[in-house]
Amino acid sequence: MKLVLATNNKGKVKELTTMLQPLGFQVVNIGAYPGFQEVVEDGDTFTANAIKKAVAAAKFTGELALADDSGLEVDALGGAPGVHSARFAGEPKDDAANNRKLLELLAEVPEEKRTARFRCVIAIAEPDGKYHTVEGTCEGMILRELKGEGGFGYDPLFYVPEYQQTFGELDAAKKNAISHRGKALQKAREILNHLYANQEG
Ligand SMILES: O=c1nc[nH]c2c1ncn2[C@H]1C[C@H](O)[C@@H](COP(=O)(O)OP(=O)(O)OP(=O)(O)O)O1
Ligand SMILES: [Mg+2]
């Protein structure tokens, strides 16, 4: 049974593929379906955007599709960049520019007020448009400089006190074990197992 990953983010693809591997699906990237138009992520919530991406991909491909909408919520910025995380510094999407903007905005913010969390909503959609959503979060702090070469996006600025490392320093397996995406996918497993078991042929 195929499961289409409705994301163009290579970092997400890598993490999701690793975590989905034990479930038995044939995981395919949306890139394998030419002509699929990237959806406009204009929802007010991660959930709305995740549903929009998953349903569009499931309808287009006729397969089960999984989308991830995620981002960083910084308390000192009132929850920004939130749903606007990918384009925080404007178009086109640019991780390095986003990190620079975040550091600039937080320049005067003291350590104890640099709390933040990653949030991830995963939506799973069936070809008929039916969908399910699950959510995961991971708490951390925003550093004053980049640390670590791993991961993607805001990872080098996101420090996890429990591990005393950033997401950019943690190895992939550790990040997946504690991340917003890992937690959401853990919950998605139940839905996916159910869909897989109910599959004919
Ligand atoms: O584990 C993460 N580590 C670091 N940064 C992260 C993570 N998870 C989300 N993020 C950031 C990246 C991007 O700035 C935004 C997601 O935006 P989001 O629209 O969900 O993804 P995207 O546009 O890169 O790909 P797509 O929509 O095709 O799935 O949050
Ligand atoms: Mg996006």
The ipTM, to two decimals, is 0.99
Write out pLDDT tens, residues 64-89.
999 999 999 999 999 999 999 999 99
Write out pLDDT tens, residues 107-160.
999 999 999 999 999 999 999 999 999 999 999 999 999 999 999 999 999 999
Q: How far, in Å, CA of 11 to CA of 14, rounded?
A: 5
How far is the centre of ligand 1, averaged over its atoms, from the C-alpha of 118 (Å)?
A: 10
Write out pLDDT tens, residues 23-70.
999 999 999 999 999 999 999 999 999 999 999 999 999 999 999 999
Which residues are bridge partners to 70 per DSSP? 120
Contacting residues for 9 by C-beta, under 8 A, at least 6 apart: 68, 152
Domains recognised in the chain with CATH numbers? 2-197 (3.90.950.10)
How far is the centre of ligand 2, averaged over its atoms, from the C-alpha of 25 (Å)?
A: 24
**44, 69, 94, 128: the active-site residue:** 69
pTM of the complete model:
0.98
Ligand having the closest approach to the CA of 54: 1
69 has binding-site annotation: yes
Contacting residues for 124 by C-beta, under 8 A, at least 6 apart: 54, 64, 65, 66, 131, 132, 133, 188, 191, 192, 195
Our answer to whether residue 68 is catalytic in this structure is no
Write out pLDDT tens, residues 172-197.
999 999 999 999 999 999 999 999 88
The pLDDT value recorded for residue 199 is 80
Q: How far, in Å, CA of 67 to CA of 172, rounded?
A: 20
Q: How far, in Å, CA of 37 to CA of 61, rounded?
A: 12
The pLDDT value recorded for residue 128 is 97
Using DSSP bridges, classify how beta strands 131-142 and 158-160 pair: parallel, antiparallel or unpaired.
antiparallel
Residue type at 146?
A: L
Ligand 1 atom index nearest CA of 152: 4
Q: How confident is the model at residue 169 (pLDDT cuts 50, 70, 90)?
A: very high
Q: How far, in Å, CA of 186 to CA of 199, rounded?
A: 21
Q: How confident is the model at residue 200 (pLDDT cuts 50, 70, 90)?
A: low
How far is the centre of ligand 2, averaged over its atoms, from the C-alpha of 86 (Å)?
A: 6
Backbone torsion region of residue 198, taken as left when φ is above 0, otherwise alpha when ψ lies between -120 and 50, otherwise beta: alpha
